[in-house]
């Protein structure tokens, strides 16, 4: 069965030994629901930032802006749903190769209410992690990782003293392991193009 936001929070409560689960943390009463509401959205963004998750990856042709910056040819709007800009797609290159990247950077826009991408690449296309909030589409490994991250906050918010600190540390370790494991599984869902040998080698 596909997970929900509340399933993730309840899994986090189980991680720290809580046996009273929530029907809906968004509307529920009590300290567990209150802590979960306070932290969930922020921690979702944090876990999405942590890796270039394939399920939360988008690519889009960037909107060119009239703004200019010294030493940069183009200024593009950063997509509003962008969590992390990962790389600019290279025309004719289907997968990311760091050695072929055009220089680029992200900085604040002139109005101070958003961000822009500066580059010398014309018709730039950005590959980025977007704020994916459709929980049923999350892979199981991501659900587990996010639940451990939420559990850290619940441990410190609900369990007092040394016990809460110890639970939080245990969940931090579990979070780091689960993120690495989940990403390793998903990162394998690709096959890169073969890199052709230089002509001086192929002639041998």
| pLDDT classification of 2: cutoffs 50, 70, 90 | confident
Q: What is the per-residue pLDDT across 26-81, written as a single tens digit (0 to 9) for each?
A: 999 999 999 999 999 999 999 999 999 999 999 999 999 999 899 999 999 999 99
* 114 Cα distance to chain centroid: 19
Nearest to 57, CA basis, from 121, 177, 117, 137: 137
For residue 164, the model assigns a pLDDT of 95
For residue 195, the model assigns a pLDDT of 57
At residue 93, does pLDDT exceed 80? no
DSSP count for the chain of H helices, then E strands: 5, 7
| pLDDT classification of 194: cutoffs 50, 70, 90 | low
Within 13 Å and on the Cβ side, how many CA atoms surround 139?
18
At residue 197, does pLDDT exceed 60? no
For residue 125, the model assigns a pLDDT of 94
| Helix axis angle, 31-50 to 5-15, nearest 10° | 100
Q: What is the per-residue pLDDT across 134-186, written as a single tens digit (0 to 9) for each?
A: 999 999 999 999 999 999 999 999 999 999 999 999 999 999 999 999 999 97
| Domain map (residue ranges) of the chain | 5-51+133-187, 57-130
At residue 87, does pLDDT exceed 80? yes
């Amino acid at each position: 069965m596909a997970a929900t936001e509340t399933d993730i929070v309840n899994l986090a409560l189980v991680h720290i030994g809580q046996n009273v689960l929530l029907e809906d943390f968004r509307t529920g009463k009590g300290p567990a629901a209150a802590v979960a509401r306070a932290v969930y959205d922020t921690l979702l963004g944090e876990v999405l930032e942590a890796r270039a998750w394939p399920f939360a990856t988008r690519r889009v042709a960037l909107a060119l802006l009239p703004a200019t910056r010294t030493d940069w040819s183009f200024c593009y709007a950063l997509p509003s749903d962008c969590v992390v800009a990962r790389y600019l797609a290279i025309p004719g290159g289907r997968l990311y190769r760091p050695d072929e990247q055009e220089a680029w950077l992200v900085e604040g826009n002139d109005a101070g209410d958003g961000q822009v991408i500066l580059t010398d690449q014309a018709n730039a296309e950005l590959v980025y992690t977007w704020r994916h909030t459709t929980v049923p589409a999350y892979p199981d490994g991501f659900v587990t990782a996010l639940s451990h991250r939420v559990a850290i906050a619940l441990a410190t918010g609900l369990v007092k003293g040394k016990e809460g600190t110890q639970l939080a540390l245990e969940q931090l370790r579990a979070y780091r392991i689960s993120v690495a494991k989940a990403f390793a599984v998903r990162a394998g869902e690709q096959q890169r193009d073969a890199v052709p040998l230089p002509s001086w080698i192929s002639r041998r």
